[in-house]
């Protein structure tokens, strides 16, 4: 595993690491969900399987009350059997082009951060949202994600730790490059 990449943004540590998001013991992990909140492939399926039935029940109840979760928005459930306390579910865009998809992807990260703050959390872990079956090119997604997170943290976030948990070597390299481009090379 490569060494994590760390930067300090205001009062928050921003960390890029390679690993399994279902194993992160942050207050919340973010799920790259589908609008129906049903679980599925990739990180979404892995989180639903690892959390157990509580997450499915709470997601079903949310959809019953509120309808599908629109792209760029976020909601939360308890984390069930996961080490985290909460799962923040957000729906990234299905990639079409940068002009249409980038604002929705940025919103997914921003809305998740705002929800973590509203819940009074101190730490949150994100996957590489929309880079799997939704087809967002990982280098472009990483730049959008890091820019959205850094812009949010610079407004004075109470969060102490934001992790970008990359499952693949390619995602780690892309997010490392984005952090260095946006935040500089210094630790």
- Closest by CA to 37, choosing from 20, 19, 62, is 62
Strands 5-9 and 12-18: antiparallel
Q: Is-catalytic flag, 44?
A: yes
Q: Collapsing DSSP states into helix, strand and coil, what is residue 17?
A: strand
3-state helix, strand, coil in the chain (%, to 5): 40, 20, 40
Residue of 13, 20, 27, 44 with catalytic role: 44
Spatial separation of the C-alpha atoms in residues 56 and 37, rounded to whole Å = 8
Rounded to the nearest 5°, which phi and psi values hold at 129? -60, 135
Provide the CA 53 distance to its chain's centre, in angstroms.
Answer: 21
Q: Indicate which residues carry an active-site annotation.
A: 44
């Amino acid at each position: 595993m490569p060494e994590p990449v760390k930067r300090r943004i205001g009062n928050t540590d921003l960390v890029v690491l390679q690993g399994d998001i279902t194993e992160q013991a942050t207050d919340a992990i973010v799920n790259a969900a589908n609008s129906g909140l049903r679980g599925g492939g990739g990180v979404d399926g892995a989180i639903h399987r690892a959390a157990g039935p509580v997450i499915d029940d709470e997601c079903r109840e949310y959809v019953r009350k509120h309808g599908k979760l629109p792209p760029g928005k976020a909601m939360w459930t308890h984390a069930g059997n996961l080490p985290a306390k909460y799962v923040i579910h957000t729906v990234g865009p299905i990639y079409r082009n940068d002009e249409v998809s980038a604002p929705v992807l940025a919103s997914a990260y921003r809305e998740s951060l705002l929800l973590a703050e509203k819940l009074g959390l101190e730490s949150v872990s994100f996957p590489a949202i929309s880079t799997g079956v939704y087809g967002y090119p990982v280098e472009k997604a990483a730049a959008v994600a890091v820019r959205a997170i850094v812009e949010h943290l610079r407004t004075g976030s109470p969060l102490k730790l934001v992790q970008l948990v990359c499952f693949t070597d390619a995602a780690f390299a892309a997010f490392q490059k984005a952090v260095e481009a946006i935040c500089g090379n210094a630790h």
